[in-house]
C-alpha cells in the first residue's frame, strides 16, 4: 500500500511529519510488517510528527452522532462502551470519499490475525491459556445485536438498507472493533488535561509534554474471566460494558492516524505520544540510529494479551535461554486454589468457604493471582497475595484471626499452604491439552512450518507453561526443605558427612524462606 497519498492527506489537514527524518516502510513480519524507520540519526526529544486533534477519529469528531441525534444515540446505548466508536467507523468507511478519513481508511488493514477471527480448530490450540476466556466474542456480538442492529435499522437515511449486510455486518463490526483494539489510543479528558497542565506549570517540573500512554487500552471485545477481577494487566483493558465508572467516563478512545503506524516490541520503545491542547506529538524518548525501526510501546504485555489484542507475539531471546516474551505471566484463578483444598462441590454450596472468599474480596483481594516470569534464574517469589489467600482458605486459625482483626492473613509459606498451591499449579498445568515437552519439541522441529495462528498459539502456550514449570519447581523445593528432618549438630568430630552438609544447606534455605 502506497503511503504517499496518506501523507499528503495528513499534511493537507495540518498534520506535521518530519519526512527528512522518518519514513514508513515494510519490515519483515517478525518485526511488525509495515512500520516507521529512522532516515537519519535522531536525537532524544525530537518531534517526529504531530497529529492535530481534528484528525483524530472518535465519537467526538465523527459527524455521525450529531446526524443520528444525541438523545437517540444515548437511547440506543451508543454512548457507553465501544459500540458507538465502532458504528462511527463503519459509517465513516461507508461514506467513501465523502468521509474526511477516507485516505486513513485506505491504509488500514482489512484482515487481522487476532483470535477473534480464528477458526475453532485454531482456537483449540489456545486451550488452557488466558486468551480464550477473555476473547469476549459473545459479549461483542450481543452488543452488535442489541445496540447496532436496532440503531441502524431505524435510520435508513443514514444506513441504506442495501449496506446492512455488508458495511454494517457482524464481520465489519468485528473488523472495526479489532482495529480499535489494536490501534486506538485512550486520551484523558481535555479539560482535565488542561487542569493538569496548569498544575504542572505551577509545579514547574520542566516537562512541557503530557505523556499519553500507549495504544489500545481495551476494547468492546474485552471482558474479564467469569470470576476474575482486576490484575496488573486488566488495568490496561477497558471494560466492554462501558459502565459509568468515573475512570472510563473521562477517557476518550480515539483512532490517531499515523501514530498507529508504529510497531512495538518488548522494551524497545524509542518514542512516545505526548499531548498538547491542540495536537498529539510523537517524540523520541532516546536517540535512534539511522535505519533503526521507530518503536512505540504497547505496555509490554504478556504474549496472551499481545495475541488477543494485536494478533502477534514477542519472540525474543530470554535471559534463561530460548525465545519468548520476558513479560509473560500465568494467571492462577482463586477458585482453582479453593478446589485444591479438597473442598467438595462449588463455592456456592459451601457457606464457610463462600464467607472466606467474600471477606477476601471485600478486603480488596483479587480473585486471580498473576505469576510473573522470573527476571533471573534465581528470583522466583510466590506472590504475597497468593500466600495470604491460601492461608485464609486453608487455616481455621488464620481465618478466625483475619475475621477478628478485620485484616487479611500475613503471606506465610507453610507446608499446608504450599501443598495447596502445589496442587493448584498441577491442576493449572493440566488445563493445557499438551505438555511443555511436547510443545518445545514441536517448537524445535516445526515452528516455521506451522500456520501463523498455530505458531502464535504455540508460543503463547510455551511461555505460560515455562513459567508454571518454574513455579512448580520452586514450590516442590520449598516443600522438600520444610519436610526434611531437622538434623542435630554432631557433638564433635572432624569432617562432616554428606547428609549433614545437606541439612546445613537446608537450614540455610529455611532461614531464607522465613
Ligand atoms: C498499531 S499497529 C502498527 C502498524 C501496523 N504494522 C500497520 O501495518 O499498520 C499494530 C499492529 O502491528 C503489528 N505489530 C506491531 N508490532 C509488532 C511486532 N513486534 N511483531 C509483529 N507484528 C507487530 C500487529 O499486527 C499489530 O496489530
pLDDT digits (tens, 9 = 90+) for 428-464: 999 999 999 999 999 999 999 999 999 999 999 999 9
Ligand 1 atom with the smallest distance to the CA of 34 is: 8
Q: What is the DSSP letter of 311?
A: S
Find the 424 Cα to ligand 1 centroid distance in Å: 36
Find the 366 Cα to ligand 1 centroid distance in Å: 32
Ligand 1 atom with the smallest distance to the CA of 29 is: 21
Residue 347: predicted pLDDT: 77
Find the 310 Cα to ligand 1 centroid distance in Å: 7
Ligand 1 atom with the smallest distance to the CA of 262 is: 3
Residue 2: predicted pLDDT: 87
Residue 486: predicted pLDDT: 74
Residue 190: predicted pLDDT: 57
**Secondary element (H or E) of residue 17:** strand 16-17
Q: Indicate if ipTM > 0.90.
A: yes
Residue 204: predicted pLDDT: 37
Residue 332: predicted pLDDT: 97
Residue 211: predicted pLDDT: 55
Ligand 1 atom with the smallest distance to the CA of 33 is: 6
Which value, to the nearest 10 degrees, does the dihedral of the CA atoms of residues 423, 424, 429, 432 take? 130
Find the 179 Cα to ligand 1 centroid distance in Å: 11
- Find the mean pLDDT for residues 235-254: 49
What pTM value is reported for the model?
0.86
Find residue 279's DSSP bridge partners.
Answer: 52
- Find the mean pLDDT for residues 478-492: 76
Closest C-alpha to 92, from 168, 153, 146: 168
Mean pLDDT of the chain: 85
Ligand 1 atom with the smallest distance to the CA of 109 is: 9
Instruction: Find out whether the beta carbon of 263 lies less than 6 Å from any atom of ligand 1.
Output: yes
Residue 113: predicted pLDDT: 96
Find the 172 Cα to ligand 1 centroid distance in Å: 20
Query: What is the tens place of the pLDDT at every residue in 39-67?
Result: 999 999 999 999 999 999 999 999 999 99
Examine the pLDDT at 342 and tell me if it is beyond 80.
yes
- Residues belonging to the chain: 514
Which alpha helices (H) appear in 281-394, and where do they start and end? 303-310, 334-339, 351-362, 384-394
Residue 432: predicted pLDDT: 97
| pLDDT confidence band for 250 (50 / 70 / 90) | low
Instruction: Find out whether the beta carbon of 182 lies less than 6 Å from any atom of ligand 1.
Output: yes
Residue 489: predicted pLDDT: 58
Examine the pLDDT at 197 and tell me if it is beyond 80.
no
Domains in the chain (CATH in brackets) are 4-298+305-312 (3.90.1410.10), 329-483 (3.90.1420.10), 489-514 (no CATH)
**Which residues lie closer than 8 Å to 197 by C-beta, 6 or more apart?**
210, 277
State percent of the chain over pLDDT 70.
Answer: 82
Nearest CA, atom 6, ligand 1: 34
Closest C-alpha to 28, from 253, 281, 315, 381: 315
Instruction: Find out whether the beta carbon of 34 lies less than 6 Å from any atom of ligand 1.
Output: yes
Q: End-to-end alpha-carbon separation of the chain, Å?
A: 60
Examine the pLDDT at 206 and tell me if it is beyond 50.
no
Amino acid at each position: 500500500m502506497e503511503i504517499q497519498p496518506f501523507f499528503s492527506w495528513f499534511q493537507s489537514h495540518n498534520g506535521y511529519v518530519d519526512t527528512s527524518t522518518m519514513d514508513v516502510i515494510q519490515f519483515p513480519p517478525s518485526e511488525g510488517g509495515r512500520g516507521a524507520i529512522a532516515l537519519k540519526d535522531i536525537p532524544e526529544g525530537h518531534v517526529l510528527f504531530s497529529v492535530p486533534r481534528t484528525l483524530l477519529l472518535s465519537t467526538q469528531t465523527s459527524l455521525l452522532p450529531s446526524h443520528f441525534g444525541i438523545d437517540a444515540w444515548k437511547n440506543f446505548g451508543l454512548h457507553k462502551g465501544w459500540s458507538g466508536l465502532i458504528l462511527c467507523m463503519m459509517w465513516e468507511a461507508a461514506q467513501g470519499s465523502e468521509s474526511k478519513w477516507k485516505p486513513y481508511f485506505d491504509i488500514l488493514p482489512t484482515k487481522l490475525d487476532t483470535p477473534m477471527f480464528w477458526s475453532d480448530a485454531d482456537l483449540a490450540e489456545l486451550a488452557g491459556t488466558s486468551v480464550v476466556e477473555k476473547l469476549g466474542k459473545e459479549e461483542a456480538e450481543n452488543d452488535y445485536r442489541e445496540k447496532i442492529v436496532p440503531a441502524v435499522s431505524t435510520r435508513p437515511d443514514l444506513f441504506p438498507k442495501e449496506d446492512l449486510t455488508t458495511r454494517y455486518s457482524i464481520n465489519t463490526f468485528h473488523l472495526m472493533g479489532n482495529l480499535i483494539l489494536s490501534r486506538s489510543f485512550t486520551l484523558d479528558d481535555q479539560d482535565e488535561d488542561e487542569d493538569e497542565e496548569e498544575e504542572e506549570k505551577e509545579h514547574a517540573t520542566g516537562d512541557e509534554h503530557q505523556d499519553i500512554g500507549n495504544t489500545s487500552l481495551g476494547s468492546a471485545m474485552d471482558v474479564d474471566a467469569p470470576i476474575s477481577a482486576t490484575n496488573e494487566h486488566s488495568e490496561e483493558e477497558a471494560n466492554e460494558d462501558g459502565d459509568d465508572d468515573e475512570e472510563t467516563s473521562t477517557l476518550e478512545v480515539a483512532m490517531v492516524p499515523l501514530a498507529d503506524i508504529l510497531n512495538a516490541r518488548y522494551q524497545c520503545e524509542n518514542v512516545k505520544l505526548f499531548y498538547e491542547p491542540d495536537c498529539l506529538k510523537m517524540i523520541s524518548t532516546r536517540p535512534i540510529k539511522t535505519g533503526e525501526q521507530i518503536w512505540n510501546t504497547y505496555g509490554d504485555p504478556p504474549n496472551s494479551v499481545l495475541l488477543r489484542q494485536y494478533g502477534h507475539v514477542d519472540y525474543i531471546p530470554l535471559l534463561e535461554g530460548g525465545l519468548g516474551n520476558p513479560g509473560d505471566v500465568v494467571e492462577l484463578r482463586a477458585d482453582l486454589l479453593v478446589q485444591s483444598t479438597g473442598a467438595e462441590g462449588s463455592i456456592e454450596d459451601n457457606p464457610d468457604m463462600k464467607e472466606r472468599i467474600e471477606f477476601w474480596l471485600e478486603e480488596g483481594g483479587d480473585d486471580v493471582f498473576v505469576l510473573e516470569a522470573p527476571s533471573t534464574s534465581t528470583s522466583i517469589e510466590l506472590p504475597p497475595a497468593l500466600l495470604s489467600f491460601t492461608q485464609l482458605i486453608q487455616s481455621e486459625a488464620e481465618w478466625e484471626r483475619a475475621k477478628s482483626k478485620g485484616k487479611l492473613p500475613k503471606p506465610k509459606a507453610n507446608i499446608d499452604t504450599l501443598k495447596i498451591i502445589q496442587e493448584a499449579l498441577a491442576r493449572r498445568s493440566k488445563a493445557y491439552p499438551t505438555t511443555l515437552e511436547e510443545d518445545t519439541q514441536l517448537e524445535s522441529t516445526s515452528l516455521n512450518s506451522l500456520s501463523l495462528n498455530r505458531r502464535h498459539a504455540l508460543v503463547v502456550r510455551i511461555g505460560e507453561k515455562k513459567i508454571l514449570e518454574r513455579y512448580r519447581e520452586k514450590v516442590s523445593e520449598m516443600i522438600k526443605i520444610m519436610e526434611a528432618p531437622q538434623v542435630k549438630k554432631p557433638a564433635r568430630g572432624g569432617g562432616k558427612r554428606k547428609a549433614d552438609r545437606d541439612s546445613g544447606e537446608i537450614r540455610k534455605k529455611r532461614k531464607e524462606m522465613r
